[in-house]
Amino acid sequence: MSETLTRPALPPLPPQPASVAWPTQAWPRAAPPPGLADTGFATLMAEAFAAKATPSLGETHALVIVQSGRIVHEQYGEGFGPDQTYPSWSKAKSITHALVGIAVGDGKLDVMAPAGAPEWQGAGDPRDAITLDQLLRMSSGLQWLEEYLPDQPSDVIAMLFGDGQDDVAGFAAKFPLAQASGSHWYYSSGTTNIVVRALAHAIGKTGPEFEAFMRERLFAPIGMQSPAPKFDAAGTFIGSSFCFATAQDFARFGLLYLRGGVWDGRRILPPGWVDYARTPTFQQDDPSIDSRYGAHWWLDLGGPGSFSANGYDGQFTVCVPDLDLVLVRHGATPLALKDELKAWIGDVVGCFRELSPAR
């Protein structure tokens, strides 16, 4: 089992207000909270939307902010709108986390058990002890180079667009151990696709049947009509990177997690599964690691206690329990500006925090 930190006191997840309809069909809407205009919020919106691309954030295509179950702000960049689907990139990892949770709730997967990759079945292969938990926590120890610059060696680019694109899980599972499993945190898109293949094996579905499972058990119950997941030639959902959806649908997904996996009285994710996602993973002391990680969700982007699905190029779904808030942002932000974008998201959430009675 991977090493996790002593479990912190996680902030409670807020319930859906009794007077607010669930957005299974359409999103309830409300005016922004009183006083928001006095917090610098308008200046932050101008920083994002004043031009097609701004010096600090690059392009911002979509922003949806939900508070107390209602959309309180929605804005789109030039040429974009609410009916357009946006790339998930690595936000798909958090969708994978949800799908695994559904199988766990069905009794078909045990995340503390070995992942059982066929490539690891040789006599004495130490990789055969790697658990799904270690994969979900990016602590498998498998060698991997997560590099996004096209002129640099990159295992993720090779997996998605090169030698591994026809069988993303098989490609990732062939890498050797670089560290003992559970001892070292390293972000790896390859591990997610190994998880997806293990899930597909557990439920006995690949390709179109797996997509039907996604829609029946996750998307349809919460009103997500737009998702377009991508599969490789082997029939594996490329859960590391590819599930397009509208910004409003990504907000529905965020609200499902903010509500603890329950939607309109129906439990979609098993009890405790959201807490598992937001419980910190052990990360070695390394100055290159600038963000805490849970299980296929990132931590703290919207302040202490928040958790988020983060994707390349500036795709974010941020859940902030203490403010009952979900923020979805899509765009095209160069890697050189990623810190500025994260700071901007923190500042936007901070505007709402200024108005919080608990402040």
pLDDT per residue as tens, the chain (359 positions): 344 444 568 999 999 999 999 999 999 999 999 999 889 999 999 999 999 999 999 999 999 999 999 999 999 999 999 999 999 999 999 999 999 999 999 999 999 999 999 999 998 999 999 999 999 999 999 999 999 887 889 999 999 999 999 999 999 999 999 999 999 999 999 999 999 999 999 999 999 999 999 999 999 999 999 999 999 999 999 999 999 999 999 999 999 999 999 999 999 999 999 999 999 999 999 888 889 999 999 999 999 999 999 999 999 999 999 999 999 999 999 999 999 999 999 999 999 999 976 54
The structure's pTM equals: 0.96
> What is the predicted pLDDT for the residue at 1?
32
Within a domain: 13: no
Within a domain: 20: no
Domain encompassing residue 137: 36-354
Q: Do residues 129 and 114 make contact, with C-beta atoms less than 8 angstroms apart?
A: yes
Domain of 319, CATH number, reads 3.40.710.10
Helices (H), ranges, the chain: 41-49, 91-105, 132-136, 155-161, 168-173, 189-203, 207-214, 247-258, 273-278, 338-354
Within a domain: 8: no
- Residue 124 burial by CB count (10 A; 0-12/13-18/19+): exposed, middle or buried? exposed
> What is the predicted pLDDT for the residue at 316?
98
Within a domain: 76: yes
> What is the predicted pLDDT for the residue at 33?
94
Residue among 339, 340, 341, 315 at smallest CA distance from 328: 315
Within a domain: 218: yes
Within a domain: 5: no
C-alpha dist (Å) from residue 287 to 4, 271, 279, 299, 308: 19, 35, 21, 17, 21
**Tokens coding 59:** 């392009």
226-228-231 Cα angle (round to 5): 165
DSSP 8-class letter at 182: T
Considering just the CA atoms, what is the radius of gyration of the chain in Å? Answer: 20
As for how many domains the chain has, the answer is 1
Within a domain: 163: yes
Within a domain: 18: no
